[in-house]
Amino acid sequence: MEGNAPTDVPSSLRKKLDDIGLARGTFTDALITAAVKALLFIVLPILLIGLLTLAGTNDQVSSGAQEMRTNVLVFGSMLVAISFAWAYHLRSSKARLFLGLVGAVVLVIYGYSVFMTGGFSRAMSGLGWTVHGDLAFGIVCYLALRSALRFVRDYDFFRKALMKSEKEVAPFTPRLGWGEFDRRLGSFSSAASTANRVIWGIVVRWSVLIMLFMWMLAFLGFASKDTGAGFLSVLSTIVGAILLMGVPMTVLAWFKGFYPKGTVSRTVFDIGLSLAFVLLIFLIFILSGLPQAAQTVGAAFPIWPIGLALIMWEVIEALRAVWEFREERRTWKVRAGLKVERKKPRWQVPPESHLYELSPEIGKVSRGLVSAEKTFFRFVILPEVLVILGLGAAFGAGAESGPLFRAMANLVYLIPLFGLLLTVISFGRGFYPAGSLGRMLVGLLLVPGLFLYVFNTFLTMEVQEAAERAGLIVPYELIVTLVIVTILFVGFLQVTELIDARRAWLISVGKPAKPLKPITRMNRRQEFRFRFGSTYEGTIWARKGMVRYLYYTTIIIIVLLTVIESSSFSIAGIDLSGLDVNLRQTYVTIVLLAIPLAAARAAYGFYPAGSTSKLTFGILMCLVGASYTYLALQGGQLVRGGDLGSVRAGLSVDFSFIVYGFLIGWALFTATILVEYLSYRKEWVANDYRPVASAEVEALNRQRKILEKEEQRARKAEGEGISYSEVLDAEAADSEGEVEEEIRQEIGETALQASKTASKKGA
């Protein structure tokens, strides 16, 4: 603001600097962002291109790799420079938005130069691999769109947060009916967030998985047969269908997120999005060639379970959309300032009762249906699609009478059966609010439910024996280990959620909560108390650590071991038995170190910025992470001399420079933790290190504010003829709150609050 501008800076110039975001920048964030982008868009692509030259030594591969390498260096450097610039600016600044959109355009150019020029096609032709550059370029375009939408989301969210803090938001009362399609009702940040989830969760993820499946089949020589080549062509068509259907699905998702819950407009676009998704699955089913397979094989081929799964999905989707409209309608009207009819009282279990936490009165059907919808997608729809592709591959290879085909055909029946069990459990868990015993008790049923699902579908002895007879050697013992760790972690999450949300839920429903004992003498040892932390934040950090350092890496190792062992440890005459042993050792190292790394990340995320506890566990996390990186990659000597057999005896592939790059990254992360500690220490001490004498006064002031707020709510409920709980629902997080939660999970609570504070000061 002009009144706070320094005297040596003209107010007009100061305003311009604030508008473009140059008044407050973060050099450390910019440097880290640029380093990450350099790793993703320069170092890793050049490494992969180098592996291509090792896999094929002809002139076609060499010339194509050289052209790709040049394009990666040129346009990758542009991306790194732009990423440094956008990360320096505030999330609410127009400069960050503009640079982010420019970066998305450069990413499209980057993808075009790598995949659509002659270099990529020459390299793939020289290697004999079936990887379509146009499809890869389409995926890059969606990634660029996703990146642009994230910048739109951040800009709109923090701009609105600033306007609300300054009370500059003009009130708007919509008309019911067509007035619910008014653009003034919408939120660009929520729209961008919803569209992002569709792009990443369906379009990009599905396309990448299918293209990796195509590459694996081509690598194993599947394309040498006429039927195999035809099936690979079918897979390419399926990816094209996903990319094309992604356009209307993204548009529908945008408008679904744009309008608030409880409006007719959101419900219309919500149902339209679900119908578009069912159409996509139907197209995949038709294009997969399974109808032709059914005509050839006859009654032995199961068709109806796939159609039944699609019908069940659409029923769940429609119920969720309609029930969300039904439950959120009154809440939206209260928020919008519209009149609502007085709700008839109905029987309710009193909060003092022991059965209150299992009472249906505290649950929400729409919330349960959202949870059920996600579970049905993960454990029924997605596995059914994968089985469809596997059956199509077997039929294309002429193996429709083989044991693997029959085993996969049985999966078509088993997946909906056990997946429906998980869906029912997820509905019950989502039905109850976080912090209630009902939610935790139902959530713990996911542990046996997941064991039943996994070991009665994909990990049965029938599937394992059928795969071995078909020549597909899968390291099942490694998969079982990963599955057990994952399921136990799911059970752990149910308990941590209860611990974190329990106190807040008890207070919200009027049940007694145990008061916190005051700290008589504050010191650094007291900073390790649980009261200062957030189990929720710690769980988020742990979950991201498990996904990043355990799941992704072990899945890649399992895929590589499957390829190596299925080819009898020899590809193109090269003995890979040594590499197989090294990969198995790496798997054990990853499992042993990923768990303590996730625990250290949980403790780091648990404590607030500026505390000694967060600093301690942050440094510990970096030490464990550096050990994880060095030992998992075996110091960069994953492929040592002699491992490649008689063809290239004595050849070593040295990845040590990549390991050193990761170690430097951990060192930079340690420096960031130190800077964070120094930056937030004084503020945290000022907020939490209070004199003992003033502790009771502070508690009384907080209690007085709570009572005043409750009186205001009671007056509003009496004046508008609504219940007290409906007033609370209207104050709960709306679509903007969901966007804030999404941003919090991406950047953390500390960075979120810092961005809000910086936006206010910059304005």
Q: Are 99 and 86 in contact (CB under 8 A)?
A: yes
pLDDT classification of 691: cutoffs 50, 70, 90:
very low
Distance (Å, whole) CA 30 – CA 755:
14
Q: Is the pLDDT of residue 563 over 80?
A: no
Torsion of CA 673, 675, 679, 685, to 10 degrees: 50
Q: Are 730 and 331 in contact (CB under 8 A)?
A: yes
Give the model's pLDDT for residue 730.
52
In a domain, 603, yes or no: yes
Per cent of the chain over pLDDT 70 is 71
Residues 583-610 have pLDDT tens digits of: 888 888 888 888 888 888 888 888 887 7
In 3D, which of 642, 638, 674, 669 has the Cα closest to residue 656?
Answer: 638
* Number of domains observed in the structure of the chain: 1
In a domain, 700, yes or no: no
Q: How far is CA 546 from CA 332, 486, 654, 742, in A?
A: 38, 9, 27, 19
Helix axes 133-165, 188-198, angle to 10 degrees: 150
505: which residues sit within 8 A by CB, 6+ positions away?
Answer: 433, 434, 435, 436
Mean pLDDT, the chain, rounded, equals 76
In a domain, 556, yes or no: yes
Alpha helices for 42-93 (secondary structure H): 44-55, 59-88
Give the model's pLDDT for residue 705.
53
Range of the domain at 619: 523-688
Q: What is the mean pLDDT of residues 444-454?
A: 93
In a domain, 508, yes or no: no
Q: How far is CA 734 from CA 102, 332, 728, 737, 738, in A?
A: 31, 9, 12, 5, 7
Q: What is the mean pLDDT of residues 723-736?
A: 52
Output the DSSP codes for 280-334.
HHHHHHHHTTHHHHHHHHGGGS--HHHHHHHHHHHHHHHHHHHHHHHHHHHHHHH
Q: Are 102 and 84 in contact (CB under 8 A)?
A: no
Q: Are 570 and 648 in contact (CB under 8 A)?
A: no
In a domain, 576, yes or no: yes
350: which residues sit within 8 A by CB, 6+ positions away?
Answer: 356
* Interstrand relation of 570-571 and 574-575 (parallel, antiparallel or unpaired): antiparallel
Q: What is the pTM of this model?
A: 0.67
Across the strands, what pairs with 653?
A: 639
Residues 124-145 have pLDDT tens digits of: 877 777 778 889 999 999 999 9
Give the model's pLDDT for residue 641.
43
Kindly state the tokens that stand for 316. 């769940």
Q: Are 427 and 371 in contact (CB under 8 A)?
A: yes
In 3D, which of 690, 494, 476 has the Cα closest to residue 565?
Answer: 476
In a domain, 398, yes or no: no
In a domain, 196, yes or no: no
Q: Is the pLDDT of residue 207 over 80?
A: yes
In a domain, 118, yes or no: no
